[in-house]
Amino acid sequence: MRSETVLSCEGLLKRFGGITATDNVSLKLQRGARHALIGPNGAGKTTLINLLTGVLEPTAGSICLQGENINHLAAHQRVRRGLVRTFQISQLFEGLTPLQTLAVAVTQHLGTGATWWKALGHDALVSQRCEQLLAQFHLTEVMDQVTSELAYGKRRLLEMAIALACEPTVLLLDEPVAGVPAGEREELLKTVAALPADVSVLLIEHDMDLVFSFAQRMTVLVNGAVLTEGTPSEMAADARVREVYLGHGDKHG
């Protein structure tokens, strides 16, 4: 695997009135990276994701995807270039079934999302891909249930399955296991561990077990700015990191 940078941001700044939510953040993600972004509550982790994905517009700074500046691209265009995210609070389509949800995402990715004269299930490629995703995310037995009636763990799985349906090159996972009850947790951790190797993953998570087992590199964010970056063992040994975050890890874990 080549160690090329797929996603990078340079001097990213976001101000809301007088508050600086993202303060001069620079970040690089290699192809296939497993990178964790940690920091106490209110450190600006979700704001950073919103900036990278185009939900928010940065006050200053640049974002590059595979060497190309994507600042001007709308959120849905960034998705088509392979920059996909999940949400901390599940954002699902409550009126559709998991199967329909995935089929919409897949047709969108295949470029047939605007087709209006053929039924959603017409394309065999779509149902094949959906079948595969449903199996991969343990959703096959609930594929025809209305999403609003799914158990919480299944909702978190669907949340990730939707993102994978868009075939990302960079996946931003916003607290994938937050609030998942212990019984459903294992299934979710396994799917996170089994994400395709060539997909670069940026993981935001408070769960230190997951972060340390998953990440090859970590960035610590405090008050919107990067405090430090390095390997998990370097971070664990860093006195400042322990001070601002890991020392209070019990509170968040």
Partner 1 sequence: MSSVANSLSASSKPRWWEFVLWALLLCLPALMPTHALLISEITIIALFAMSLDLVLGYSGIVSLGHAAFFGMGAYSAALFAKHIHPDPLLGLAVATAVSAVLGAVCSLGILRGSDLTRLMVTLGVALILQELANKLDFITGGADGLQGVIMGPVLGRFAFDLVGQTAAWYALCVTLVVFMLLRSVVHSPFGFSLKTIRDNPLRAQAIGIPVHSRLIAAYTLSAALAGLAGALQAQSSGFASLDVFGFDRSADVLLMLVIGGTGWLWGGIIGAVVFKVLHSLIAAWTPQYWTFWLGLFLVLLMLVGRERLIRPWTWGHRA
d(Cα 22, Cα 55) in Å, to the nearest integer?
14
Identify the burial level of 53 via C-beta atoms within 10 angstroms of its C-beta, where 0-12 means exposed, 13-18 middle and 19 or more buried: buried
Choices 15-23, 101-109, 215-223, 244-252; region in contact with partner 1 by CB under 8 A: 101-109
Spatial CA neighbour of 94 closest among 143, 137, 149:
149
Using CB under 8 A, which of 93, 145, 187, 225 touches partner 1? 93
Q: Tokens 């265009």 map to which residue? A: 77
Determine phi and psi for 168, rounding to 5 degrees: -75, 150
- CA 225, 19, 170 angle in degrees (round to 5)? 45
* Window 53-82: residues binding partner 1 (CB under 8 A): 53, 55, 74-77, 79-80
Reported as type and span, the H/E element at residue 125 is helix 124-136
Residue 131 interacting with partner 1 (CB under 8 A): yes
Closest CB to partner 1 among 118 and 251?
A: 118
Residue 186 interacting with partner 1 (CB under 8 A): no
d(Cα 32, Cα 171) in Å, to the nearest integer?
10
Closest CB to partner 1 among 119 and 197?
A: 119
Using CB under 8 A, which of 12, 37, 48, 103 touches partner 1? 103
Using CB under 8 A, which of 166, 178, 189, 225 touches partner 1? 166
Using CB under 8 A, which of 1, 19, 124, 239 touches partner 1? 124
Are 206 and 175 spatial neighbours (Cβ–Cβ below 8 Å)?
yes
d(Cα 218, Cα 220) in Å, to the nearest integer?
7
CA 59 from centroid of its chain's CA atoms: 22
Q: Helix (H, G, I), strand (E, B), or coil: what is residue 128?
A: helix
Residue 208 interacting with partner 1 (CB under 8 A): no
Using CB under 8 A, which of 16, 42, 69, 121 touches partner 1? 121
* Window 133-152: residues binding partner 1 (CB under 8 A): 134, 143-144
Using CB under 8 A, which of 108, 136, 223, 228 touches partner 1? 108
Residue 125 interacting with partner 1 (CB under 8 A): no
Residue 164 interacting with partner 1 (CB under 8 A): no
Q: Tokens 């396994």 map to which residue? A: 190
Residue 127 interacting with partner 1 (CB under 8 A): yes
Q: Tokens 């700074």 map to which residue? A: 61
* Cα-based distances in Å from 129 to 43, 103, 104, 156, 165: 37, 8, 11, 19, 8
Residue 130 interacting with partner 1 (CB under 8 A): yes
Using CB under 8 A, which of 24, 62, 112, 136 touches partner 1? 112
Q: Which residues bind partner 1 (CB under 8 A)?
A: 53, 55, 74-77, 79-80, 84-85, 87, 91-97, 99-101, 103-105, 107-109, 112-122, 124, 126-128, 130-131, 134, 143-144, 162, 165-166
